[in-house]
Amino acid sequence: FGRLCTAGLLSFLLFLNAPIQTFVIPHSHMDVGWVYTIQESMHAYAANVYSSVTEELSKVKERRFIAVEQEFFRLWWDTVASVTQKKQVQQLIKEGRLEFIIGGQVMHDEAVTDLDDDILQMMEGHGFLYETFGVRPQFSWHVDPFGASATTPVLFALAGFNAHLISRIDYDLKDTMQKNKKLQFVWRGSPSLKSQQEIFTHTMDQFSYCTPSYLPFSNRSGFYWNGVALFPDPPKDGIYPNMSLPVTKETVHAYAKTMVENIKQRAAWFRTNHVLWPWGCDKQFYNSSVQFNNMDPLMKYINQNSKEFGVSVQYATLSEYFQAIYQSNLTWEVRGSEDFLPYSTEPYQAWTGFYASRNVLKGVARQASSKLYAAETLFARYRISFPDGPVAKDWALDKLRALRWAVSEVQHHDGITGTESPKVADMYLQHLLQAMMGAEELLAALFLLPHNLESPSTLADVDQALEQHVIIYNPLAWNITTIVNVTVTQPSAAVFDDDGQPVPAQIQGSAHSNATYDLFIVVELGGLQYRKYLIKFSENSKAYEAKAVSFERRSAKDRAKAGRRLLPVLSECYELLFDQDTNLLHSITYLEEKRRVMITQDFWEYDANGDVKAGPISDNYIFSANGSAVRAYKAVEMEMIISGKIVTEIRQYFYREESDKDYAYSITTRVPECFGTKLPCHRLEQTYSLGPLSLNTEVVLRTSTSVKNNRTLYSDDNGYQMMKRTYRKFTNNTLARNYFPMVRTAYIEDDLSRLVLVSDRAHGVSSQTDGQLEVMLHRRLWNNLQWNLGYNLTLNDSSVVRPTLWLMLGSVSATSKLYQREAVQLQHRPVVMPIDQPRKCLPHRGSPLRSVVLPPNLHLLSLSVPGWNYCSNHSVHLNLHSQPDYDRILLRIMHLFEEGEDPELSKPVTINLKEALQGMGEVKGVEERSLTGTWDIASLQRWKWKTRTRDDNFTVTISPKEIRTFFVHFVSRNF
Ligand SMILES: [Zn+2]
């Protein structure tokens, strides 16, 4: 103490004397899915949470509550809440006692979600809250996602949040942080945006988001006076199971002592004198009168004796807690852009299995997201071009909203993760598929309609059986040349564009069916443009009919002979060599630098343990391999479809036993033959087929190479940024703890070469041996853990899955220019739509839409008609409840590159929005907004927020990794 100045000593002593200030935050964690469907949850407890909390808060002014998952709140608001309850809610919000936290439809998963969808689900909730209550959430409460991504804090900062909260991080790391009082820090999630989008982050302590339930003076749980929710129906008499001992004269002291001890234990882990004490857990507060009527007297008792206890308690919202921390004015440590993935709860509990659980759901969720993106961009274009066109705007918005809702919902941390019960997985799928059909109806209407405004078609009557018209739409704001695959039932065909010119095409028998054929068409499309194509089926067609060459089945035992008879497949970018003695890939040479990399690909299986008595098990969440992977096949067959026209296809079939009739796994590789065309030759498309798997099997595609990566790999956080994943040795469970999520991209590299995979859905990835990159594609499990059986969460997934990866190989600098755009292009492949009645609607001339093209490093992240009815100006918007605004277009642009990643593409880009969007219409005004659109960027002052000068004209500069959001107003173009 000798060196402390007097003032410092004084404040230190005051600090010692001041009671610990405790913020009791009442909350209910309400999973949008997981074990029970949304409907079941609404019925059993969720509706009662909002009804009873509204009533109880209105009775006593000290009481508080935070509302998190908007989907449940909105369902309650729209279908349950009475007029009186709605008025009460408005009042409680005004008084700051009912507070919306996060404000998204769900608490989204952080490991396997894509940023498009994270933004969407947040915007969906934020739009509703702003429109209905004029409020904008400013704090997060990510208490349950399984690990924390570094993209989330960036997105929350961009949305205008002042603080972020996480909980589930690696158990030993949390332990260390807790001991060293480092659970709170300022997170700079993006290495390019740095402090510009930093955010204060609170990590929950070891008790996480549930109130400690152990009561030393009773054999019942504590602080859960309303017991546990009852399914399927709430009890008629209001008596729930496991209701805690009431707070009475006799019990109050024992309760107070228990609570105070817990508060003091936690206070020691934090730097300020404030303790966040979450009061609640999963499915709580459905009978909140019992909750509050017990907590009220308990808190009163503690406060009356606060000197003796050294603790004061108060009901609080999350913003009240963070305000207190902010006002403490301390200097915080900065955390860089590293994430908290993967997540382990115990030595043998690595939560790395869910990266690959329920491949089908993960795939459909991403397809739905792309369909939504295509429908949004096309509808926005339509609104600008044909504001009085015949597609009914409210009908269109209904279709879009249904799909926005379905895609938002599945981002839940027990949704797209694949960790839900089978009936809940079916619920998500049903919602997604139904809404996708609606979006297809909308797309069909939009594609056909502009033509009705033109002169009638001149096409002669034709026999429809002999021809098929398709519309192909490029939803990206880049010009593209690509191969589109159309499944047809005829063995020969010719393709013509809308000018009647023949289009390069190739037709061949399909890899997975004897009844269909793959017709590959080379399409060239401008940004946000579509064209019509005519497919003519006839004997003397012009499309190249590719022929298959089959190679004899080879036993895996013959590996020793490898390397003697190599079969080359040449493209403009690569020479691939296939080994005729193994039927496996042997090597790929990238021709630009004439560098050969040895590459073999095959399937391996981890044998999962399902018996809890025999050691750690694998389940929906957890990957716990029972030893190393074993080769998943005994023999391989190969079929090569050589064309020399558009694409060479190599099909490899992997047989479990040498004499098996049916293959267990397959790889279909497509090598574009693009000599002299604009087709990108660096993209090798692979589609795999797996399943049904045998029980307790986890299958990986293993790509073994001569790349000296030292077991380091890179994988992305939510498609936004790449994370370096260094191989780490642990005392236990090293294999599973070196698994990482891959949402869009993973790569391995050495000084010379980089092998990149981009994906159409999330997977788990790992590099277990030098030069290897393995992708877990599918899992089928069963175990006898009572808890898993009770909730039907063992993951007995017998589906057949067909994921796609694009593979690229090249120098580090060459691939640095490519992979970001490739990942976006895989996500947003052209939309192919057959048209049934060509006579009515096909005009002779090209697409009426002019192209819209952004620079190569800028991606059109969103272009939509949100349809909110609020005014952009916060101070007046609540007085204006009118019809949805169909003329306000939301535009979001993202810079795809990190600072320093590429000498050219990493530069900030200045564009004039009026010029960039002129293909769409004439821009008359642009307002920059926060990420979810609810803040005018000029009025948004985040805590520690640096102000930025506003661009008054239409010129904006977008720096590396920036995402900038605008409302764009076009000059109305009525016909
Ligand atoms: Zn949860």
Distance 606 CA to ligand 1 centre (A): 28
> Which runs of E-coded beta strand occur in 571-663?
574-579, 584-590, 595-607, 630-631, 635-642, 647-655
Per domain, the residue ranges of the chain are 21-53+212-268+272-329, 601-827
Q: Which of the four pLDDT bands, split at 50, 70 and 90, describes residue 761?
A: very high
Each residue's pLDDT tens digit, 192-233: 998 889 999 999 999 999 999 888 998 888 899 999 999 999
* pLDDT given at position 456: 39
Q: Which residues surround ligand 1, an ion (CB under 5 A)?
A: 31, 144
* pLDDT given at position 962: 96
* pLDDT given at position 114: 98
Asked if 497 is an active-site residue, the reply is no
Q: What is the CATH number of domain 601-827?
A: 2.70.98.30
Each residue's pLDDT tens digit, 275-315: 999 999 999 999 999 999 999 999 999 999 999 999 999 99
* pLDDT given at position 448: 81
Distance 438 CA to ligand 1 centre (A): 29
* pLDDT given at position 880: 57
From residue 256, alpha-carbon distances to 16, 280, 305, 308 in Å are 21, 17, 10, 12
Distance 952 CA to ligand 1 centre (A): 44
Average pLDDT taken over every residue of the chain = 92
- DSSP class of residue 845 equals S
Each residue's pLDDT tens digit, 472-513: 999 999 999 999 999 999 889 999 998 999 999 999 998 878
Distance 165 CA to ligand 1 centre (A): 15
Quick check: 817 pLDDT over 80? Answer: yes
* pLDDT given at position 875: 65
Q: 144, 498, 619, 797: which one is catalytic? A: 144
* pLDDT given at position 846: 46
* pLDDT given at position 257: 97
Query: Cα 172 from chain centroid?
Result: 27
Q: Which residues contact 584 (CB under 8 A, 6 or more apart)?
A: 562, 578, 600, 601, 602, 636, 652
Q: Which residues contact 972 (CB under 8 A, 6 or more apart)?
A: 387, 887
Quick check: 575 pLDDT over 60? Answer: yes
Distance 38 CA to ligand 1 centre (A): 13
Quick check: 945 pLDDT over 60? Answer: no
- The DSSP element (H or E) to which 776 belongs, if any, is strand 772-780
* pLDDT given at position 120: 98
- DSSP class of residue 144 equals S
21-53+212-268+272-329 CATH choice from 3.40.50.720, 3.40.50.300, 2.40.30.260, 3.40.50.11160: 3.40.50.11160
- Angle at which helices 422-452 and 393-409 cross, to 10°: 150
* pLDDT given at position 843: 43
Pairing of strands 763-766, 647-655: unpaired
Quick check: 946 pLDDT over 90? Answer: no
* pLDDT given at position 449: 57
Question: What is the percentage of the chain residues whose pLDDT exceeds 90?
Answer: 82
Each residue's pLDDT tens digit, 244-258: 999 999 999 999 999
* pLDDT given at position 13: 52
Tell me how far apart the 2 most distant CA atoms of the chain are, in Å: 100
Distance 145 CA to ligand 1 centre (A): 7
* pLDDT given at position 459: 40
* pLDDT given at position 450: 47
* pLDDT given at position 975: 42
Distance 882 CA to ligand 1 centre (A): 36
Edge to edge, what strands does the sheet with 665-672 contain?
547-555, 635-642, 647-655, 665-672, 684-690, 804-810, 754-759, 745-749, 713-717, 721-725
* pLDDT given at position 878: 63
Distance 109 CA to ligand 1 centre (A): 9
Integer Cα distance of 666 and 661 in angstroms: 14
Distance 658 CA to ligand 1 centre (A): 45
Among 69-83, 307-321, 875-889, the minimum mean pLDDT is found in 875-889
One-letter identity of residue 783: N
* pLDDT given at position 848: 65
CB 229 within 8 A of CB 219: no
Distance 33 CA to ligand 1 centre (A): 9
Integer Cα distance of 27 and 68 in angstroms: 8
Nearest in space to 787 (alpha carbons), one of 262, 259, 421: 421
Question: What is the percentage of the chain residues whose pLDDT exceeds 70?
Answer: 93
User: Is this structure's pTM higher than 0.85?
Assistant: yes
Distance 848 CA to ligand 1 centre (A): 48
Among 536-545, 642-651, 903-912, the minimum mean pLDDT is found in 536-545
| Dihedral, 324, 325, 327, 330 alpha carbons, nearest 10 | 160
Q: Which of the four pLDDT bands, split at 50, 70 and 90, describes residue 514?
A: confident
